[in-house]
Amino acid sequence: QKEVEQNSGPLSVPEGAIASLNCTYSDRGSQSFFWYRQYSGKSPELIMFIYSNGDKEDGRFTAQLNKASQYVSLLIRDSQPSDSATYLCAVENNAGNMLTFGGGTRLMVKP
Amino acid sequence: DGGITQSPKYLFRKEGQNVTLSCEQNLNHDAMYWYRQDPGQGLRLIYYSQIVNDFQKGDIAEGYSVSREKKESFPLTVTSAQKNPTAFYLCASSYSGGSPTDTQYFGPGTRLTVL
């Protein structure tokens, strides 16, 4: 069973701080990794994806991937109360036709 | 206005009833997916389809059925065999579903409650 693990949280950070969300996965053949944000009662929305080792930046968000350690993270700089949500890590299988989701980390940004 | 629509938004089912959840997309995506989400948990794959008239079971297909007669539509039937169907059901689509980094986009979801 391919697994994707996330700390369920809640992770509480003050407004303006950096929030660091982590995800580990078990399938070494995985090639692509996705971060989704889900507000309470809503559907997930894509933040960004990454498939190369290293960092990928998009605005206040940075995804980091280390395939050797089977670890992917999401950094949110200058956290805002509107960033308060559950963040889902998703790992794509080698065939590229299925995603396995982690349980999500609940982030709370306090004013 | 392109996107994925799901209906109804809320659905109530009595014990022993079959219900069908609708999912339609006008993004010209080839692949479509159904997920189930239970409170405080991640998404689990029920069924997926990469082309019309073909679909595959996901991790939790028991008690569910699907059809893919049109590219735009991928309805999910929750049968009476599904013992604990109360959950949030999410439909997603992607361009091809057969190559890395094909991003999945989600519809707004249907919340199903068994009475």
Burial of A14 (0-12, 13-18, 19+ CB in 10 A): exposed
**The pLDDT value given to residue B79:** 94
- Would you call B106 and A102 a contact, using CB atoms and an 8 Å cutoff? no
When pLDDT is cut at 50, 70 and 90, the band that residue A82 belongs to is very high
Number of H helices, E strands in chain B: 0, 11
Q: How far is A16 from chain B (nearest CA, A)?
A: 26
Q: Which residue has the tokens 């392109």?
A: B2
Q: How confident is the model at residue A98 (pLDDT cuts 50, 70, 90)?
A: confident
Residue A82 phi/psi, 5-degree rounding, is -70, -10
Taking the C-alpha atoms of residue A74 and residue A56, their distance in angstroms, rounded to an integer, is 10
Nearest to B100 among A44, A96, A100 (CB): A96
Give per-residue pLDDT as tens, A18-61. 999 999 999 998 889 999 999 999 999 999 999 989 999 999 99
**Residue A9 region, left (φ>0) first, then alpha (ψ -120 to 50), else beta?**
left
- The verdict on a CB contact (< 8 Å) between A43 and B106 is yes
Residue numbers in B near A31 (CB within 8 A): 100
- Establish if B42 touches chain A: CB-CB under 8 angstroms: yes
Question: DSSP assignment, residue A101?
Answer: E
Contact B48 A98 (CB under 8 A): yes
Question: Do the Cβ atoms of A33 and A92 come closer than 8 Å?
Answer: yes
The CA-atom distances, in angstroms, between B54 and each of A7, A95, B85 are 36, 17, 24
Confidence of residue B1 (pLDDT cuts 50, 70, 90): low
Six token digits for residue B37: 């989400």
Q: Which of B97, B100, B103 is opposite residue A46, by nearest beta carbon? A: B103
- Rounded Cα gap, residues B107 and A16, in angstroms: 31
Helices (H) and strands (E) in chain A, counts: 0, 11
Q: What is the pLDDT of residue B96?
A: 77
- Residue of B33, B48, B101 with shortest CB distance to A32: B101
pLDDT digits (tens, 9 = 90+) for B16-75: 899 999 999 999 999 999 999 998 889 999 999 999 999 999 999 999 999 999 999 999
Question: A 6-65 residues with CB below 8 A of B?
Answer: 6, 8, 31-32, 34, 36, 42-46, 49, 51
Q: Positive or negative, the Cα torsion across B24, B29, B30, B34?
A: negative
A72 to chain B, closest Cα gap in Å: 15
* CA A35 distance to own-chain centroid: 4
pLDDT at position B101: 61
Rounded to a whole number, what is the distance in Å from the CA of A6 to chain B's nearest CA?
Answer: 10
Bridge partners for B46 per DSSP: none
- pLDDT value at position B112? 96
Cα radius of gyration (chain A): 13
Q: What local confidence, expressed as pLDDT, does residue B98 receive?
A: 60
Q: Name the 3-class secondary structure at A14.
A: strand
